[in-house]
Amino acid sequence: MILLNNIEMSNGAEIVASKIIQFFKSPFNIEGEDIFISSSLGIAIFPDDGTDIETLIQNADKEMYQSKQQGHN
| pTM of structure | 0.76
Q: What is the share, in percent, of the chain residues with pLDDT greater than 90?
A: 67
d(CA 45, CA 13): 8
d(CA 27, CA 14): 22
Confidence of residue 59 (pLDDT cuts 50, 70, 90): very high
Question: Cis ω on the peptide bond leading into residue 47 (within 30° of 0)?
Answer: yes
User: Domains of the chain (ranges plus CATH)?
Assistant: 12-69 (3.30.70.270)
Q: Do 42 and 61 touch, CB atoms closer than 8 A? A: yes
For residue 28, list its beta bridge partners: 35
The mean of the pLDDT values for the chain is 91
Higher pLDDT, 71 or 37: 37
Q: Is the pLDDT of residue 72 over 80?
A: no
